[in-house]
Structure 1
Amino acid sequence: MKKYSFFFLLFLVLNSCSEQVARNNNPNLPNYTVLIDLNLNLPEYSSLKFVSNAVLIPGRGVRGVVVFNTGSGYNAFDAACPNQPLSSCSTMTIKGINLLCACDNEEYSLFTGQGKLQYPLKQYRAELNGDVLRVFN
Structure 2
Amino acid sequence: MVVLFVGLATSCKKDDDNNDDLQNQNIPNVAFDTGGLINTNLPQYNQMQFAGNSVVLGNTYGINGVVVYYAGGINYSAFELSDPSHPLSDCSNLSVSQGAATCNCDDEKSFSIVTGLALNGTNSQFPLKRYSVEVSGNIIRVFNN
* SS of match in other structure, 1:45: helix
* SS of match in other structure, 1:47: helix
Query: What is the 5 A alignment of 1:34-113?
Result: 34-37=32-35, 38-58=38-58, 59-72=60-73, 73-103=75-105, 104-113=107-116
Q: What is the deviation of 1:114?
A: 0.3
What letter is aligned with 1:101? C
Distance 2:124 2:62 in 1: 21
Q: 1:31 — aligned with what?
A: 29
**Does residue 117 of the first structure (1) align with residue 117 of the second (2)?**
no
Distance 1:27 1:97 in 2: 26
Distance 2:67 2:20 in 1: 18
Distance 1:35 1:52 in 2: 23
TM-score for the superposition, normalised by structure 2? 0.77
Q: What is the deviation of 1:23?
A: 2.4
Q: Deviations over 1:60-116 (max 9, x none)?
A: 111001101112411000111111111111111111111111112111011110004
- Judged with a 3 Å threshold, the aligned counterparts in structure 2 of structure 1 residues 106 and 118 are, in CA distance, closer, same or farther, namely same
Structure 2 regions of 5+ residues with no counterpart? none
Aligned residues between the structures = 124
CA contact (8 A) 1:54 1:94 kept: no
Distance 1:120 1:74 in 2: 17
* SS of match in other structure, 1:70: strand
What letter is aligned with 1:126? V
- Judged with a 3 Å threshold, the aligned counterparts in structure 2 of structure 1 residues 41 and 21 are, in CA distance, closer, same or farther, namely farther
What letter is aligned with 1:124? Y
CA contact (8 A) 1:66 1:77 kept: yes
- Judged with a 3 Å threshold, the aligned counterparts in structure 2 of structure 1 residues 126 and 20 are, in CA distance, closer, same or farther, namely farther
Structure 1 regions of 5+ residues with no counterpart? none
Query: What is the 5 A alignment of 1:122-133?
Result: 122-133=129-140
Q: Deviations over 1:25-79 (max 9, x none)?
A: 2110111002113111111111111111111101211100110111241100011
- Where does structure 1 differ by over 4 angstroms across 4 or more consecutive aligned residues? 19-22
CA contact (8 A) 2:20 2:127 kept: no
